Amino acid sequence: TLHVMGTGQRGGVGAALAPHVVLATGGFGQVFGQTTNPYVSTGDGVALAMRAGADIADLEFVQFHPTVMWLGPLAQGQQPLVSEAVRGEGAFLRDIGGERFMEAEHPMADLAPRDVVAKAIMRRMRASESGHVWLDGRHLGADLWISRFPTILDSCRSRGIDPVTDLIPVAPAQHYVSGGVRTDHWGRASIPGLYACGEVACTGVHGANRLASNSLLEGLVFAGRIGEVLARSEAVVREPVRGRDEAGLLPHSVRRTMQQTMDEHVGVLRSRASLEAAENELWSLADTAGARPSTEDWETTNIHALACVLARHALLREETRGSHWREDFPERDDARWQTRLVTSIDENGALHTRTEPIGGPT
């Protein structure tokens, strides 16, 4: 059953009964304040599936792009990405004091892997108590910027920064999530009749960290596979799945506070102390529930639900693997953690997280 929401309607304006429901609602980048994702990327599909009782997996694996234009500590919505190709052409990073630092971090210096660069930037920002570092491409010249990076050039100039003559303020920001609604390799979720494709889905094909451009797998390959399944499926309308009761909606006014909590405690560098602080702050926000239904309040409530699961998964996984980095557990631990974390909600609305061996449904 798919409920269609209208402003001011708690239960929706009506329900559409269907033998199959396909979720293709994208990721949940707006869980974080610093993100390359659009303002509407609020994880509604993942939250909907979770409330219906579907399995949600791998939320701890969040990919952060190292060089996103820093628009200030209060920036919200989609923030412009400065491609790694700019560093490939010879641009390099400087800390807030102007010193180059990547040469001491990795043999490939500024061309090091994305994860290495993001962690190095965050450590340098923390040490200098600054909100960003600098990307220096001034020596590339105007002709190269115009011919190779016209979109980035226009984006910078529209914000008062000219990369030909100015340093670009950059910082890591959330870019992609490998987790979501757990599906098999045909897009089928754990609830019969429910399917997911694109970033809302967690097919397992990315493992703990997505390779560049491979998000097309879930958007194209699995959409096609779901189509194949539906074409040969009978249109049997099942008994509607009952959604888990909600205690109330969170007001949109807490959204920024929640995002700041996630940026500070559940970002690139994580530890038990930071993750426990995040959990405490997130659960304290639940006391503000009771808002009148609106689209923004539903989105805020969905963000909160996913933030809680993400923080819980990140706290439980006591290792560093892929895009999940624990400062207190800096090594990968295959003996304990070559498993997936899967969360679901029971009929009483309680969250339950379990481990499952790598592999799962195909």
Estimate to the nearest angstrom the gap between the alpha carbon of 214 and the chain centroid: 15
Residue 282 to residue 192: CA distance in whole angstroms: 32
Q: Which of 51, 114, 326, 340 is catalytic?
A: 114
Q: Are 156 and 165 in contact (CB under 8 A)?
A: no
Active site residue 126: no
The letter for the amino acid at 201 is A
Q: Which residues contact 39 (CB under 8 A, 6 or more apart)?
A: 30, 76, 77, 78
Residue 239 is classified by DSSP as: P
Residue 285 to residue 257: CA distance in whole angstroms: 9
Beta bridge partners of 65: 173
Beta bridge partners of 3: 15
Residue 41 to residue 58: CA distance in whole angstroms: 18
Residue 189 to residue 87: CA distance in whole angstroms: 40
Q: Can you tell me whether residue 221 is helix, strand or coil?
A: helix
Residue 79 to residue 74: CA distance in whole angstroms: 12
Q: Which residues contact 92 (CB under 8 A, 6 or more apart)?
A: 100, 102, 109, 110, 135, 136
> In angstroms, what CA-CA distances link 343 with 46, 85, 275, 316?
11, 37, 17, 12
Cα separation of the two ends of the chain: 25
Alpha-helical regions (H) of the chain: 44-51, 84-88, 114-128, 142-148, 150-157, 215-216, 222-231, 255-265, 272-285, 295-316, 334-337
Give catalytic residues, as residue numbers. Answer: 114
